[in-house]
Amino acid sequence: MPARSKKQQMAAGAALAAKRGERSKQSLKGASRQMVESMSERQLREFARTKRKGLPRKRRG
């Protein structure tokens, strides 16, 4: 499943880095902190690899 916004894609990238141990989990905030706990590494990778071109900055509603 691809990310639906640029913010969601960036949050997934940060969560993926924490899941892999490249970044501390304490440094995460908001959605990325929830993502690291609730999503598998495979799901995070799919979200993070979404191309940003054409995505809205934020998702509405």
Residue range 16-61, pLDDT digits in tens: 999 999 999 999 999 999 999 999 999 999 999 999 888 888 877 6
Distance CA 51, CA 36 (A): 20
22 and 58 Cβ atoms separated by less than 8 Å? no
Alpha helices in 1-61 (DSSP H): 6-20, 30-38, 41-48
In the DSSP assignment, the letter for residue 21 is T
Q: Please, which pLDDT band fits residue 2 given cuts at 50, 70 and 90? A: confident
pLDDT confidence of residue 59: 77
Residue 54, helix vs strand vs coil: coil
User: Which pTM value belongs to this model?
Assistant: 0.86
